Amino acid sequence: MVARHAGEETALLELGAGFGYNLFSLSIDPRWSKLRGLDIAPNGIEAGRQIAGHFGLGDRISFGRIDLTDPADPAFQELKGATILTYFCIEQIPHAVEAVVNHILKARPARVINIEPAVDMLDLSDPRDIASRIYIRSMDYQTRLWTLLDELDRAGRIRVSARERMNFAPTLHNDGLLYAWTPLGDSD
């Protein structure tokens, strides 16, 4: 799924990577020559580094720190020209969705693939979706990301290339929605 939206890219940078669960899963596919994870949690970063070292993946998988809410964080420089993945990351900072998207835009990545829980594509005639909506709202997850990306698309600041519902979770409340997009024009 990530490869399908990454185009021909062979490197991927995950924001909110934690200890690298997604990156280690992706490393099974030899397509990915470079996988980089950025996170705010020092313990997750260190655990990811140790796991990569233990399994001899340090040449393909690396970790670093970023604070997505701080526009002055020097790690934003790494996003320039990168293909970026967020996977259930922006849900954790519902108070800063607009700021985080703006910081990412200013960093000028080549492409962004967001997979996040949201209520936007739920079918409220489906009991599973009703349960998902109640759960997402009760957890105070973000509920604005997809609306914001659609607004930016209409304004010509980004081009949304995919909107997909991900029906893969084994529980009622963990299905994600995928948006793939590219920045356009001036992001300031």
Looking at per-residue confidence, does 142 or 109 come out higher? 109
* Nearest Cα residue to 145 out of 103, 82, 100, 84: 100
- pLDDT tens per residue, range 34-87: 999 999 999 999 999 999 999 999 999 999 999 999 999 999 999 999 999 999
CA angle 188/3/8 to nearest 5° reads 70
Question: Is 188 inside any structural domain?
Answer: no
In a domain, 45, yes or no: yes
One-character DSSP codes across 36-87: EEEES-HHHHHHHHHHHHHTT-TTTEEEEE--TT-TT-GGGGGGTT-EEEEE
Within-domain flag for 101: yes
> How many structural domains does the chain have?
1
pLDDT tens digit sequence for 128-170: 777 777 777 666 566 788 899 999 999 999 999 999 877 665 5
pLDDT band at 126 (very low <50, low <70, confident <90, very high): confident
**8 in a domain, yes or no?**
yes
What pTM was computed for the model? 0.89
- 108, part of any domain: yes
